[in-house]
Structures are given as structure tokens and as C-alpha cells.
Amino acid sequence: MKCPVCKDVTLLMSEKRGVEIDYCPECRGIWLDHGELEKLIEKEEKTYQEAKKEYDDYEDKHQHNKYSKKRKKESFLGEIFEMFGD
């Protein structure tokens, strides 16, 4: 298949996350067939949800005392003024 933009350049195929993607090596355009964008979005959402669950599980496991008061993180400028304050 030819690139719709370049007209005379043949599209190359690549597989990303199990979805075949056509791309032009000249203009770097990416061309998806019907339904391929939805498949990529679905797979990305699943990956995001899995990563979020792992992070939440890690946080729950490593939280020593959930009732302890967390110290507010100082800004970079706050640290500088603190150093040269008093």
C-alpha cells in the first residue's frame, strides 16, 4: 500500500502490542486500519490499571503508620531560604 501523503512511498508494517501498524518511512505518518486505534487504547488502559494496582499494593504494604502525620515536602527555594535564614 502507498502512503496517502507521499503518494509514491510504500508503507511499512510494524507490530506494536499485538496490533499491526502501517507507517511511512519518508513522512513518518502512521496509518491504522479500522478498529486498531481502539485496540491500542484498550491495551494501554489495561496496562495503566495493572500498574496503578501494583503501585497501590506497594504503598499499602510499605506504609508504616497510616495515622502518622506526613511532613510537607519543602520546595527548593524554601530549602535555600532556610539555609541562609537565621
Q: What is the CATH number of the domain that holds 55?
A: 3.10.20
Q: Is residue 71 part of a domain?
A: no
Q: Which range marks the domain in which residue 42 is found?
A: 1-62
Q: Is residue 69 part of a domain?
A: no
Q: What is the mean pLDDT of residues 4-13?
A: 93
**Number of domains present in the structure of the chain:** 1
Q: Is residue 20 part of a domain?
A: yes
Q: Is residue 67 part of a domain?
A: no
Beta strands in 1-85 (DSSP E): 12-16, 19-23, 30-31
User: How many Å apart are CA 41 and CA 43, to the nearest integer?
Assistant: 5
* Residue 2: predicted pLDDT: 92
- Average pLDDT over the chain reads 78
* Residue 78: predicted pLDDT: 60
